[in-house]
Amino acid sequence: MELNRDTIAQVQDAMDFERSRKTPPEDFPALPDIPGCRYTDAEFLALEEERMWKRSWRYVGHTDQLPENGSWFVTRDTGSPIVVTRNMDGKVKAFYNTCQHRGAPLVTEEKGQSRGFVCGYHGWSYTLDGRLVAVRDKRDFVELDMSCRSLVEVRCDLLGTLIFLNEDPEAQPLKDHIGPMAKELEQYDLGNLRLVDSKRYDVDCNVKVLLDAFLEVYHISSIHQNTVDRFLDHRGMLVTLWPNGHSRMMTPNRRPDWTDPGTIGMPKIETITPVPAENNVSYHIFPNLVMPPSDSGIPLLQFIPRGRRKCEVVSNWLAPDHDPADPHPLWKTRIDNWTRILYEDLQYAPQIQESLESKGFRGMPLNYQERRIYHWHEELDRRIGLNVVTERARVQQVLKDQVTGG
């Protein structure tokens, strides 16, 4: 269902049904266990990295990080060093940070501004569009065709002010790939939101340990007793599964008239519709971006693999009418509260990883509330190749009839 005024009663009826049901819906299939080796096995994780992470659309930054033509920053969030730049025509482009001579980095700082790139090793020079335009001592090269030595470009798409990269040159365009979600996200005015805050956290666990937690609310009565559980009613939660592994979760407030007191008086996203404004919606763009918007600000969470047992969590906040030089006075308290909740989710991760690697962990028996996790794993196997994943590690494809919008 689209989140608009016509669906308010429909959403409320669905939430009432979720609260009152005694069993999962009759058409919901039993979910086979997720094999434990998917979190620990080196061979499987190598396939995951090569065939999924390296071929997926990944959020890497905000256009506020490129304030002027010639601005650039370096990201390693896809697993490769990539320069993202705004060229002299104002277009956002991305290239591997790799000189086409002997592989030296084009830039060694994390961000900057220039009219082009000059490799510090041997002085080869490129435009912001990636063209090789100057070579030191060109006379010493035999039949060097500079037109064939441009920087290697990386697929780059924008979702409003959000910058996404994909290392797969054959990847489907981003908006086509996220399908029904693209139209729904228009109400959040992503093209006019400013970057408020960005923080990074290193965590000693496989990336899926934390990503799983943000695809369900089954855990909030235990982990978030004094924070999120005080105002969210997890038993009324609704889930929409979309093609390509994407999904949406919508959780009602415990009291229909509840308003977060920490956001009163803050600038609002005027185009947001009542259903997400009055409930708690969370979008997941496969594989690793979680976005739970409100009408006064949108947090973005990235979950980035940094090895078999390590990951990085990146927390960004976007907001309307934000002036970095004069931020709204409530932002500090709001981000502090958000950080507290985030730490509640991070606290057990290293111990969970330790347990996953023990003989005591065999697999995951997921429930109806956790079906977004199973949906994620089904998509992972499809991306790797159902005939490539070993039988020991494979998940059964059972949720096909639960996916909408295909």
Give yes or no: residues 35 and 143 share one domain: no
Domain count, the chain: 2
Q: Does residue 303 sit within a domain?
A: yes
Give yes or no: residues 213 and 291 share one domain: yes
Q: What angle do CA 1, 218, 178 make, to 5 degrees?
A: 35
Whole-angstrom Cα distance, residue 119 to residue 100?
Answer: 10
Q: Enumerate helices (H) and strands (E) in the chain, giving the number of each.
A: 10, 19
The pLDDT of residue 263: 85
How do the pLDDT tens digits run along the chain, 406 residues long?
Answer: 566 555 788 999 999 999 999 999 999 999 999 999 999 999 999 999 999 999 999 999 999 999 999 999 999 999 999 999 999 999 999 999 999 999 999 999 999 999 999 999 999 999 999 999 999 999 999 999 999 999 999 999 999 999 999 999 999 999 999 999 999 999 999 999 999 999 999 999 999 999 999 999 988 887 887 887 677 888 899 999 999 999 999 998 887 777 787 788 899 999 999 999 888 999 999 999 999 999 999 999 999 999 999 999 999 999 999 999 899 999 999 999 999 999 999 999 999 999 999 999 999 999 999 999 999 999 999 999 999 999 999 999 999 999 998 6
Q: Does residue 199 sit within a domain?
A: yes
Give yes or no: residues 208 and 323 share one domain: yes
The pLDDT of residue 42: 96
Q: What angle do CA 111, 117, 123 make, to 5 degrees?
A: 125
Q: Does residue 251 sit within a domain?
A: yes
Q: Does residue 88 sit within a domain?
A: yes
Give yes or no: residues 25 and 91 share one domain: no
Q: What is the CATH number of the domain that holds 127?
A: 2.102.10.10
Q: What is the CATH number of the domain that holds 373?
A: 3.90.380.10
Q: Does residue 166 sit within a domain?
A: no
Instruction: Tell me the whole-structure pTM to 2 decimals.
Output: 0.95
Give yes or no: residues 255 and 392 share one domain: yes
Give yes or no: residues 102 and 13 share one domain: no
The pLDDT of residue 98: 98
Give the structural domain span for 152: 62-159
Give yes or no: residues 133 and 244 share one domain: no
Q: Does residue 177 sit within a domain?
A: yes
* Complete edge-to-edge strand list for the sheet that includes strand 247-251: 194-203, 311-319, 298-305, 289-291, 280-285, 247-251, 238-241
Boundary of a domain, candidates 159, 194, 229:
159
Strand pairing partners for 239? 249
Give yes or no: residues 206 and 279 share one domain: yes
Boundary of a domain, candidates 94, 127, 159:
159
Give yes or no: residues 48 and 71 share one domain: no
Q: Does residue 125 sit within a domain?
A: yes
Amino acid at residue number 303 = F
Q: Could you tell me where the DSSP H helices lie in 140-264?
A: 174-178, 180-185, 207-213, 220-223
Give yes or no: residues 103 and 26 share one domain: no
H or E element, residue 111:
strand 111-113
Please identify which residue in the block is written with the tokens 């949720």. Answer: 399
The pLDDT of residue 89: 96
The pLDDT of residue 219: 83
Q: Does residue 167 sit within a domain?
A: no
Give yes or no: residues 66 and 125 share one domain: yes
Amino acid at residue number 177 = H
Give yes or no: residues 199 and 258 share one domain: yes
In this structure, what are the phi and psi dihedrals at residue 360, rounded to the nearest 5 degrees? -80, -10
